[in-house]
Structure 1
Amino acid sequence: MNRILDGMRVVEGSAFVAAPLAGMTLAQMGADVIRFDRLQGGLDAERWPITKSGKSLFWAGLNKGKRSLAVDMTTPEGREILTRLICRPGEDAGIFLTNLRLRGWMSYEGLKQHREDLIMMAVLGDRFGGPQVDYTVNPAVGFPMATGPEGSSEPVGHALPAWDCITGQQAAMAIIAADRHRRKTGKGQLIELALKDTALAMLGNLGIIAEASINGSDRPKMGNSLFGAYAQDFVCQDGQRVMVVALTDRQWRNLKAATGAEAAVADLAQRLDADLDQEGERFIHRHAITALLKPYFEARTLSEVGTSLAGSDVTWSQYRTFKQAVEEDADCSLDNPMFAMLHQPGIGSYLMPGSPIHFMGVDRLAPAPAPILGEHTLEILTEIGFSNTEIASLHDGRIVASPK
């Protein structure tokens, strides 16, 4: 198996989403990612969703393919172990990923004394190092005030920790960039990435900062419509719901043809004196367009709508619950080479994804389960130079732990 990041060694001390996601992203492309945790497990070791027996499906999901070291980092011996692990020699080592508090021995300055070219990726809450999570950042940048039913005034949050997800991917990319820079210059560095800065950057990248600054306007709530174009949800005869999207000219033509609405839309455009072939005009007149299309969906079941829209190459999707997506969507199954059915110790066998990235000419690295806490303690200590006697003493002194 050709691992695209074969040889890269990353030490991870983290919790929650962004930093663990960054480590998992690298591991799924072949990097050796060693996660260290307290003897009793990390801060998110029991985070929901959990099994009926209390095992964290969240933790298992974000730590696939890593190795695990259980160590008491509050002790001098534990700190020595982690310092040796993080700062081990070799051009592929000396990379530390964390969102833990960086102070004392774990600070960049403290660790750099042991390896001058250390690369440290520090995921922060805000740019000052203050505590922030996705569910505090999102309200701060305005999205809940633009989310929800049209005409409503209450803020609406979301279930997806979007800023965590983007930050995790950016952190992985930053590590690869810093590693490339070190190979060219021999210099390491401290990289800082704040969750709130990620959100604010995307606010600007999507034109929302400019919209507020230049136009002096606030984005209104618009339900399930798509700002600036036409996309709308419809209820079918059997109560099932679908979303249709017409961003491009082709998508708009296909939607009109599939629903038999060409003549009605042309008449509507004439009455409104509007060019509905322009996506902005379709957004402005979305309610009138929806009123024309609504009877088509109300007269057909989901199956009938699906057959018609798929045959007409319309961009559409069925609304599903998470459970329905797992049970019904062929893309969320073994038909998709990203997935494999694997056994997660302590939990059972279920569908696990590998990396969604496919490199041409390189076999996709098969997904791997998350490790048991301390599963690789013995081999990791051996790799960084501890003797069998020393390792036994560390276990006896409750400095490190391995699975029973």
Structure 2
Amino acid sequence: MSKVLEGIRVLDFGRYIAGPFCGALLADMGADVIRVDRVGGSEDRFVMPVTEHGDGAVFLQANRNKRSITLELGSDEGRRVVRRLVESADIVIANMPAPTLTNLGLDYESLKAIKSDIILVAPSAFGDSALLRDKIGFDGVGQAMSGGVYLSGYPDQPMKSMVPVVDFATAIACALGAVAALYERNRSGEGQKVESSLLQTALNFSSGYLIEEQLLKLDRQASGNRSQSYGPSDIFKASDGWIIVQVIGPSMFKRWAKIMGRPELLDDPRFADDELRGQNGSLLSELMAEWCNKRSRNQALQELATAKIPAGPVYSPAEVHADQAIANSGAFVWLQHPQHVEAPYVAAPLNLSRTPLEITRHAPLVGEHTEEILSEFGFDAEEIKDLRHNNVV
């Protein structure tokens, strides 16, 4: 079965998540994605180690379906190899600061001089504007500067998301941009630069609150897990665990009041619409908390499901793996790693019915495919031997 991006070659110089996970999604669609590692392994490989040689959990997820070549980019010989690679590539992914891209010859103008229709995907922390482009940042910084962290947690303790949502969302945006650039190239014959930033992604997440604040000047403050725009919407403790409940809209609120045995709430002016229910949400959360405390997690969820009220368990990572419904949904693809580890790769967040995305190859070992790749790009055995002797690969 042919894949959407079959025949497309991608050079992935990405590090950590925003660049590499973009490459992983392109690989899931059938592109030949070559991860360019530092000799000995790049720094992002070893975060949250889970294998015998220290490969990290996030590295596995963000680099599945790829091949790996090691390359010393700072050397003249290394740059010569890069030029050879670029000549046969369609897309280059590089999430590095702009000066670093230029120093390594991975900026768009340098790449375009090698191959006129090349597409550069260049996610960054803050984009290319003059006042922000030299700042350094990770996922949490983007979250914090977007207003989202301020509104999470409590007034005396803001909280970011522990999972790197901004990194992964930026990668998804970059994958969309890469596919769009390929589509446009079919018409124009020209490449272009695809840009996205952690800050811009995070600002999109916070956009509703940012628009509201600019127009209404509400100066909202954090309220834990409780929504300020509708209710009850909060996280509640049952007798044996936690659940989340989200009641939005008048019909749902009527059903909620019925299972609470509190029909009088429907005529209470404090709860006349979503906005008022949000403003007075602490009262609704108290009622919901009392109801949940008298029930097990499963019992509460079953009653809420019968009333067609959105609710779900607050799972630990171990509980996610124990949920058979999630396992049966195809959420995980189990692959054997060369270091005798069977790892659960999480399937892509989208799929196509006729040309499905697939995870078929484990995240590569450091330089696992160096000779194979160099041979494909026209390097003969003697040249490869010299590159190894000079520690270029």
Deviation at residue 248 of structure 1 after TM alignment: 3.7
Q: How many residues align?
A: 383
In the alignment, the residues of structure 1 paired with residue 306 and residue 217 of structure 2 have an alpha-carbon distance, to the nearest angstrom, of 43
Across the aligned residues of Structure 1 and Structure 2, the Cα RMSD in angstroms comes to 2.2
Classify 1:157/1:344 alpha carbon distance in 2 versus 1 (closer, same or farther; 3 Å). same
Match of 1:267 among 264, 269, 274: 264
Classify 1:275/1:202 alpha carbon distance in 2 versus 1 (closer, same or farther; 3 Å). closer
Q: Does 1:147 align with 2:140?
A: no
Given that 1:18 and 1:164 are in contact with CA atoms closer than 8 Å, whether structure 2 keeps it comes out as yes
Q: In the alignment, residue 214 of structure 1 is paired with which amino acid?
A: L
Match of 1:97 in 2: 93
Match of 2:311 among 299, 308, 316: 316
Match of 2:285 in 1: 290
In the alignment, the residues of structure 2 paired with residue 49 and residue 310 of structure 1 have an alpha-carbon distance, to the nearest angstrom, of 39
Given that 2:228 and 2:279 are in contact with CA atoms closer than 8 Å, whether structure 1 keeps it comes out as no
Given that 1:50 and 1:58 are in contact with CA atoms closer than 8 Å, whether structure 2 keeps it comes out as no
Under a length normalisation based on structure 2, what TM-score does the superposition of the two structures give? Answer: 0.90
In the alignment, the residues of structure 2 paired with residue 253 and residue 242 of structure 1 have an alpha-carbon distance, to the nearest angstrom, of 20
In the alignment, the residues of structure 2 paired with residue 2 and residue 102 of structure 1 have an alpha-carbon distance, to the nearest angstrom, of 34
Which segment is superposed worse, 189-198 or 227-236? 189-198
Classify 1:387/1:189 alpha carbon distance in 2 versus 1 (closer, same or farther; 3 Å). same
Q: In the alignment, residue 385 of structure 1 is paired with which amino acid?
A: G
- Equivalent position SS for 2:303: helix
Structure 1 residues 16-65: Cα deviation after superposition (integer angstroms, max 9, x where no partner) = 11111111111111111111011111121211254576332221121011
Q: In the alignment, residue 136 of structure 1 is paired with which amino acid?
A: V
In the alignment, the residues of structure 2 paired with residue 126 and residue 291 of structure 1 have an alpha-carbon distance, to the nearest angstrom, of 41
Deviation at residue 202 of structure 1 after TM alignment: 3.8
- Equivalent position SS for 1:137: helix
In the alignment, the residues of structure 2 paired with residue 310 and residue 269 of structure 1 have an alpha-carbon distance, to the nearest angstrom, of 21
Match of 1:214 in 2: 215
Report percent identity of matched pairs: 26
List aligned pairs for 1:250-399, cutoff 5 A. 250-257=251-258, 259-261=259-261, 264=262, 266-270=263-267, 272-274=268-270, 276=272, 278-328=273-323, 330-331=325-326, 333=327, 335-346=328-339, 348-399=341-392
Classify 1:154/1:371 alpha carbon distance in 2 versus 1 (closer, same or farther; 3 Å). same
Deviation at residue 135 of structure 1 after TM alignment: 1.8
Deviation at residue 75 of structure 1 after TM alignment: 1.9
Classify 1:314/1:211 alpha carbon distance in 2 versus 1 (closer, same or farther; 3 Å). closer
Match of 1:199 in 2: 202
Given that 1:145 and 1:153 are in contact with CA atoms closer than 8 Å, whether structure 2 keeps it comes out as no
Deviation at residue 175 of structure 1 after TM alignment: 1.0
In the alignment, the residues of structure 2 paired with residue 190 and residue 103 of structure 1 have an alpha-carbon distance, to the nearest angstrom, of 14
In the alignment, the residues of structure 1 paired with residue 39 and residue 48 of structure 2 have an alpha-carbon distance, to the nearest angstrom, of 20
- Equivalent position SS for 1:10: strand
List, as ranges, runs of 4+ consecutive aligned residues in structure 1 with deviation greater than 6 Å. Answer: none
Under a length normalisation based on structure 1, what TM-score does the superposition of the two structures give? Answer: 0.88
Gaps of 5+ in 1: none
Classify 1:361/1:110 alpha carbon distance in 2 versus 1 (closer, same or farther; 3 Å). closer
Structure 1 residues 68-115: Cα deviation after superposition (integer angstroms, max 9, x where no partner) = 111122222211111111222xxxx33111013211433222222211
Classify 1:284/1:153 alpha carbon distance in 2 versus 1 (closer, same or farther; 3 Å). same
Gaps of 5+ in 2: none
Q: In the alignment, residue 138 of structure 1 is paired with which amino acid?
A: Q
